[in-house]
Structure 1
Amino acid sequence: IYTVYANSMCLLFCISYDNKIICNLYFVCTNISCDISGFLNKPIITVTAIFNAGLCLWTSGYICPLGWRRFKCSCYYISTEKKTWNDSRQACMQSGTDLAIISSREEQDFMNSIPGDFWIGLSDREREGTWKWVDGTTIPVDEGVKQPDDYNGNEDCVHQRTRNFDPGWNDLPCSYTLNWMCESVPWCYPTY
């Protein structure tokens, strides 16, 4: 259940997960400050499909949580701590998201512009040599891409790396600890 209260400046989002309630306060404009205490005394509206980007019309705006980056129709969070691929995916899932999926050249260019190395949602853990995104879609085995190459047969998880000479994907053993990137669809809010 997603619970939302919004006015023209702020959006309060709560999710019930694992018998806990997690709430986030979102800002429509970064130059406006919001007082969350005003929300606590107001009625709350329950919305069941807030994450469906298809509900955002041209008359809507898009926002991402504070600390997340927006690119087109997605919001991205880059962790400040390091975890294994499995633990990274679990961390994303605990916040209602998943590891990032790169689905276009434009999105890959965006990823290449972000400094650092971080886990993304691609692995061949289920079946050796079949690279699959966390949503179940696969990538072609060979389109001239050097990575992932499954060096020595023990590199099953993919990270995005940013290097001047060779930015892009690289596969590593899933037990390595790296930062990670979660991906979510942005919030839509009506603009009047």
Structure 2
Amino acid sequence: MNMNVGLVVLCLQLLVIKINSSVVKNGLPEGYRKYRDLGFYKIHTTSVNWNVARQTCENENAYLVVINSQEELELIGYMMQSQNIEEVHAGFNDLVTEGEFYTTYGQPLSSTYIQWNDGEPNNLNGDENCGNVKLRDNKPGLNDLACGQTRSFVCELK
């Protein structure tokens, strides 16, 4: 029974996020803003697990943010601070092979900009397979965390 309740809650979360994200203004899904020449981003303040965050971004024709430069990392940090959020899900994982991180669109993470927080990735408790951006001393860096942990997240339009 508990598993069924959890599944219903998950489905309702996806439905609410899908409904909220389906409104389009000026050709963009609701809530997306252009930041300099970096792209179009939206911060979701609802805390969900990594897979729900990934699916929500896909429903918006976007992907969980993948950091490609120091400037982009700083932008995501700024967005987080403006919402008083310490961590957001990001678009990378090592679900296939431990320690080999790939973006949600299949590129090795090593082909992007990588700025891990000190001591990361650490695969704490042997189950940290999903990626996020975490503020430490108000500085953003990459972190690994358990995929089932709920966090806010940032989507970037494709």
- Give the alignment's TM-score, normalised by structure 1: 0.58
Compared CA separation, residues 174 and 184, structure 1 to 2 (3 A): same
Structure 2 match to 1:67: 31
Of 81, 96, 107, 1:137 maps to: 107
CA RMSD of superposed structures (Å): 2.3
Work out the number of aligned pairs and report it: 126
Deviation (angstroms), 1:66: 4.8
Structure 2 match to 1:26: 26
Structure 1 match to 2:61: 96
Aligned residue identity for 1:70: K
Query: Which structure shows the bigger proportion of residues in helix conformation?
Result: 2
Compared CA separation, residues 65 and 95, structure 1 to 2 (3 A): closer
Query: 1:26–1:66: 8 Å Cα contact kept in structure 2?
Result: no
Deviation (angstroms), 1:125: 0.8
Q: Is the radius of gyration larger for structure 1 or structure 2?
A: 1
Structure 2 match to 1:182: 155
Deviation (angstroms), 1:144: 8.1
Structure 2 match to 1:48: none
Gaps of 5+ in 2: 1-21
Residues 164-183 of structure 1 aligned to structure 2 (within 5 Å)? 164=137, 166-183=139-156
Percent identical: 29
Q: Which 4+ residue blocks in structure 1 deviate beyond 6 angstroms?
A: none
Residues 9-158 of structure 1 aligned to structure 2 (within 5 Å)? 24-26=24-26, 65-71=29-35, 72-114=37-79, 115=81, 116=85, 117-140=87-110, 145=116, 146=118, 147-158=120-131
Gaps of 5+ in 1: 1-21, 28-63, 186-192
